[in-house]
Amino acid sequence: MTKTIAIIGALDTKGQEFAFLKAAIEGRGFKTLVVDTGVLGEPAFSPDITHEQVATAGGSNLADLVAKGDRGEAMAVMQSGAAAVARLLHHEGKIDGIIGMGGGGGTSVATAAMRALPVGFPKLMVSTVASGDTSGFVGTSDITMMYSVVDVAGINRISRLIYTNAAGAICGMVAGETAEAEDKPIIAVSMFGNTTRAVNQARGLLEAAGYEVLVFHATGSGGRTMESLIADGLITAVLDMTTTEWADELLGGVLSAGATRLDAAAKAGIPQIIVPGCIDMCNFWALDTVPDKYKSRNLYSWNPNITLMRTTPDENAQLGAIFANKLNATTGVVQVYVPMRGVSELDVEGKPFYDVAALPAFVTALKANLRPDIPVVELDMDINAPLFAEATVMALLNLLKPQL
């Protein structure tokens, strides 16, 4: 069966470019389905889904958007509409991949549609802004961003190469087949450089027990992605070994996963083992980027681009209260495991972040605010001790037993 690739973008301003892309894709033996997201003018050629239909799916009327002349509102409506259209096309099995082209506005609309599609579904965005910070466009999705090099404006010797390569790339993604593999229950595990030894130990034990393990780096985007996959129902259980992103959320660090971190598993009701891994540190970029109010704090250069700031006992107490509030909302089973001799490589006796008062402050606040039916297990070892990984894995496997 011939596969179909959705092409999404504004046909009023970039009709020539999309016509070239459409021909390049169809020339490779694929079908196309064109979605027009333009607002101001008529499309250069007839799309399969019109801009009126996209606006309606976004909860508005195209004529009204044109009359108002509010670009911000129009972009918001078309983003919402594009996402709704993409979601429906995928649900109905009408598309096998999606590609878009555009500048900042076109990228925001097309990637909104792409983010509405599941992980693994082929997504490619040719964009003028792809060489900069694309986190706002990609989010927690697996969108492939391709820099357009020149503006998406006409066909020339450079753009012709770019668009041809883009057509080849999306066709290759759609044509690719995933090797057959046994589907095993998935356990999500969070990791940081300072908890790598613990996570590697835990992963081996979980895999030996018959689970597939997805490890997420606790860098903000990693935590958000993990939360997203949990919310999508793809995760069986969570070993949240590295919850450091909450320290960044509390103190304004650069690796925050947002205020919803720890929410998804609680709402989903899946088994959780929570560890305060790396809550001893808040992350900033190079030393000269640390805010002035923190310049006198205990700072450690992890590398030339990453500076870690030691959290205080008071801040650890605040984190304990936050964790309790999050875990109290769980509809499933959850336990907290605390490595009392240190929550990171740096938080052990003789290392730069060792602080005898910080972790006890976390535990005290946690217990004071936590539901009495949620166990808090304190172990006299540091987080990277092999026995700590074994203890948390055994605890999680015991929580999973009723579900097997």
Q: Where do runs of H (alpha helix) occur along 116-220?
A: 135-138, 157-175, 196-208
pLDDT in tens, 339-360: 999 999 999 999 999 999 999 9
Greatest alpha-carbon pair distance for the chain in Å reads 70
Tell me how far apart the alpha carbons of residues 141 and 86 are, in angstroms, rounded to a whole number. 14
Burial class of 70 by CB neighbour count within 10 A (0 to 12, 13 to 18, 19+): exposed
pLDDT computed for residue 403 by the predictor: 53
Domain positions in the chain are 4-175, 186-403
pLDDT in tens, 103-130: 999 999 999 999 999 999 999 999 999 9
pLDDT of 178 over the 90 cut: no
CATH superfamily of 4-175: Uncharacterised protein family UPF0261, NN domain (3.40.50.12020)
Q: Which residues are CB-contacts of 336 (< 8 A; sequence separation ≥ 6)?
A: 273, 274, 275, 276, 323, 327, 366, 370, 374, 375, 376, 377
pLDDT of 132 over the 90 cut: no
Average pLDDT over residues 224-245: 96
Instruction: Tell me the pLDDT band of 182, cut-offs 50, 70 and 90.
Output: confident
pLDDT computed for residue 354 by the predictor: 97
pLDDT computed for residue 330 by the predictor: 97
Work out the percent of the chain whose per-residue pLDDT is above 70: 99
pLDDT computed for residue 298 by the predictor: 98
What sign has the CA pseudo-torsion 46, 49, 52, 55?
Answer: negative
pLDDT computed for residue 177 by the predictor: 78
Q: Which residues are CB-contacts of 200 (< 8 A; sequence separation ≥ 6)?
A: none
Q: Is 278 helix (H, G, I), strand (E, B) or coil?
A: coil
**Amino acid present at 190:** S
CATH topology of domain 186-403: Rossmann fold (3.40.50)
Average pLDDT over residues 73-101: 97
Instruction: Tell me the pLDDT band of 1, cut-offs 50, 70 and 90.
Output: confident
pLDDT computed for residue 402 by the predictor: 64
pLDDT of 220 over the 60 cut: yes
Which tokens in the block code for residue 161? 């190469």
pLDDT computed for residue 17 by the predictor: 96
Q: Is 217 helix (H, G, I), strand (E, B) or coil?
A: strand
Which tokens in the block code for residue 227? 């939360």
Tell me how far apart the alpha carbons of residues 103 and 37 are, in angstroms, rounded to a whole number. 13
Tell me how far apart the alpha carbons of residues 270 and 333 are, in angstroms, rounded to a whole number. 7
Average pLDDT over residues 286-293: 96
C-alpha atoms less than 13 angstroms from C-alpha of 296 in its C-beta half-sphere: 1
pTM above 0.75, yes or no: yes
Tell me how far apart the alpha carbons of residues 268 and 335 are, in angstroms, rounded to a whole number. 15
pLDDT computed for residue 350 by the predictor: 96
pLDDT in tens, 27-73: 999 999 999 999 988 999 999 999 999 999 999 999 999 999 898 99
Strand pairing partners for 217?
191
The DSSP result for 152-168, as a single string, is: SSS--HHHHHHHHHHHH
- 38 closest CA partner among 82, 1, 91, 68: 82
pLDDT computed for residue 404 by the predictor: 46
pLDDT computed for residue 239 by the predictor: 98
pLDDT of 7 over the 50 cut: yes
**Nearest-5° Cα angle at 349, 298 to 378:** 105
